[in-house]
Amino acid sequence: MALVMKSVLASRFCASFRTAVLIKHSSSAKFSIAAAGKKGSHSAPEEDIKKSVFISQSKDVFSNLALEDWMYRNMDFSKHHILMLWQNSPTVVIGRHQNPWLEANPQVLSENGVEVARRNSGGGTVYHDNGNLNLTFFTARDVYNRRRNLDLVTRALFREFNLYSQVNSREDIVINGNKISGTASKLGNPNAYHHCTILVNVDKTVLHDALCKHDKGITTTATASVPSPTVNLQEVNPNVSVEKLLSALGWEFLRSSPLSLKDGGLDYASAQGGFQLVNPTEDWFPGLDKIREEFVSWAWRYGRTPEFTVSRSFPVPHLIARESGMPLKDVKEELAISLKVVKGVIEDVTLKIPPSMMSARGFTGDAEVLTSLRGKRFCESAMEILGESLGQSESQTLSPEQFGTSSETEGERFVADCMRQTMMAV
């Protein structure tokens, strides 16, 4: 990306843009924590605020999220507004208070090598790949204004590509009612940021499959995503590419005044901090590795999931019910399973066993597998436990000494299998 940017800049602005383009490549620490803003500081008057564009040289979602967080925590934005432009390899990014099992389809993700990441801002789930560009607008909290940033984006789209886009009531950017950009933000003190995605030529098949919702039987208070029809900018104007968009947005940011968005043209832009290529590494940003580790951790990605319950019901097969001695036509009963998951760990398993199963010869109703699930991470570790127990009961079925209690084995196998299906569906 570095080379592309250089050539874009060189060809378009070489003459008029004299000294402002700062492209830094050295690997020594560029940004020290000592530069952090004083807590509670207020934004400077508009004319004293400088603007810079940072372009991340990494496509690793965890490094980019860590960079975003590092800047939010450590930099002083009272006199300096920064637009960070970044891209990720294929990733599903969920909102801070969302449930990854509810929002994404793990099977589709693993088949396509798509990562799951949890960000620090609110809002719903988005899909990123190389056809998507991410923007983060950093300001002091007291001048944070999402609408202003979005207006800047629509202005850039019009100036550069003649595209008409609108900001809707959910603060998404739409073209003819189809979403091209999703927005979320994080507000703290003294800093805040607003970030958004822009779809240029994202693989919509993967996007759809990765985020496609089906009934998983999950009940939760977690933030819900609001699915919307999307469109790639390239479908509207084939002339748009990620590189051109990146340049257009960067220039629009630099030429617009920070608070009132007054267009200062190239003279104004050239007095700003220009474009800086940044590497989200420990060398450049001391302390970044630790933040990245946190973003990668199971505890953050899955463990931070708001409490939820998965509930499913399964009709009891005749083979088991027959043992109960009840007439078959009356057997329309279901086994109901409910798993309570707190901080990503199974806290409670509830089984509602119908009478036909309870009275089945030998079935005691307390499948051991249930106890072993408690305290296990949802759902990989739990699946392993189930796999083991299913294997055991299979061998039991085959052994002659267990033959007499086949219904007990069948019953427990049925319960374990239902449990497995409950988790598989999620």
Partner 1 sequence: MVTGVHVLRATQRAGRAYQAVKCLTNNSTRLNTRDWDLCHRRLFSSSEILYGRKYTDKHEWVQMEGKIGTVGISHYAQDALGDVVYAQLPDVGQDVAQKEECGALESVKAASELYSPVSGKVVEKNAAVEEKPGLINMSCYEKGWLFKVELSKPEEVENLMDEDQYQQFLKTNDQ
Give the binding-site size for partner 1 (rule: CB under 8 A). Answer: 24
What residues contact 157, with CB distance under 8 A and at least 6 apart? Answer: 163, 165, 233, 248
> Could you tell me the smallest distance in angstroms from the CB atom of residue 301 to partner 1?
16
Out of 38, 39, 214, 329, the residue judged to bind partner 1 by CB under 8 A: 39
Pairing verdict, β 80-86 and 50-56: parallel
Task: Check: CB of residue 40 under 8 Å from CB of residue 76.
Answer: no
> Could you tell me the smallest distance in angstroms from the CB atom of residue 283 to partner 1?
27
Q: Point out which span in 29-37, 183-191, 246-254, 397-405 binds partner 1 (CB under 8 A).
A: 183-191
CA-nearest of 17, 97, 11 to 275 is 17
When asked if residue 186 is in the footprint of partner 1 (CB under 8 A), the reply is yes
* Tokens at 35, concatenated: 């530069």
Out of 37, 106, 122, 286, the residue judged to bind partner 1 by CB under 8 A: 122
* Tokens at 364, concatenated: 């005691």
- Determine the Cα angle at 150 with ends 145 and 154, to 5°: 150
Per-residue interface string for the shown chain with partner 1, residues 129-168, x marking contact by CB under 8 A: -----------------x----------------------
Q: Which of residues 300-329 bind partner 1 (CB under 8 A)?
A: 306
> Could you tell me the smallest distance in angstroms from the CB atom of residue 424 to partner 1?
28
CA atoms within 13 A on the CB side of 347: 10
Looking at the Cβ atoms of 25 and 39, the one nearer to partner 1 is: 39
When asked if residue 188 is in the footprint of partner 1 (CB under 8 A), the reply is yes
When asked if residue 40 is in the footprint of partner 1 (CB under 8 A), the reply is yes
Out of 6, 30, 79, 96, the residue judged to bind partner 1 by CB under 8 A: 96
Query: What separation in angstroms does the CA of 32 have from each of 23, 28, 29, 70?
Result: 18, 11, 7, 10
Looking at the Cβ atoms of 188 and 315, the one nearer to partner 1 is: 188
Per-residue interface string for the shown chain with partner 1, residues 13-32, x marking contact by CB under 8 A: --------------------
Looking at the Cβ atoms of 41 and 89, the one nearer to partner 1 is: 41
When asked if residue 354 is in the footprint of partner 1 (CB under 8 A), the reply is no
Please list the residues that pair with 115 across neighbouring strands: 91
How far is Cα 75 from Cα 223, in angstroms, rounded to an integer? 29
- Taking each continuous run of H as one helix and of E as one strand, the counts in the chain are 16, 16
CA atoms within 13 A on the CB side of 67: 30
Torsion of CA 63, 221, 150, 254, to 10 degrees: -30
* Tokens at 43, concatenated: 């934004």
When asked if residue 179 is in the footprint of partner 1 (CB under 8 A), the reply is no
* Tokens at 369, concatenated: 């597998």
Task: Check: CB of residue 242 under 8 Å from CB of residue 200.
Answer: yes
Q: Point out which span in 122-130, 259-267, 292-300, 418-426 binds partner 1 (CB under 8 A).
A: 122-130
When asked if residue 185 is in the footprint of partner 1 (CB under 8 A), the reply is yes
Looking at the Cβ atoms of 94 and 337, the one nearer to partner 1 is: 94
Out of 103, 171, 252, 408, the residue judged to bind partner 1 by CB under 8 A: 171
Out of 12, 24, 170, 290, the residue judged to bind partner 1 by CB under 8 A: 170
Per-residue interface string for the shown chain with partner 1, residues 268-307, x marking contact by CB under 8 A: --------------------------------------x-
Task: Check: CB of residue 222 under 8 Å from CB of residue 99.
Answer: yes
Looking at the Cβ atoms of 79 and 146, the one nearer to partner 1 is: 146
> Could you tell me the smallest distance in angstroms from the CB atom of residue 264 to partner 1?
27
CA-nearest of 303, 349, 335, 362 to 101 is 303
Task: Check: CB of residue 185 under 8 Å from CB of residue 192.
Answer: yes
When asked if residue 100 is in the footprint of partner 1 (CB under 8 A), the reply is no
Q: Point out which span in 45-53, 120-128, 332-340, 391-399 binds partner 1 (CB under 8 A).
A: 120-128
Q: Which of residues 207-236 bind partner 1 (CB under 8 A)?
A: 221-223
CA atoms within 13 A on the CB side of 276: 17
CA-nearest of 231, 229, 228, 218 to 103 is 218
- Which residues of the shown chain bind partner 1 in the complex (CB under 8 A)? 39-40, 95-97, 120-124, 146, 170-171, 183-189, 221-223, 306
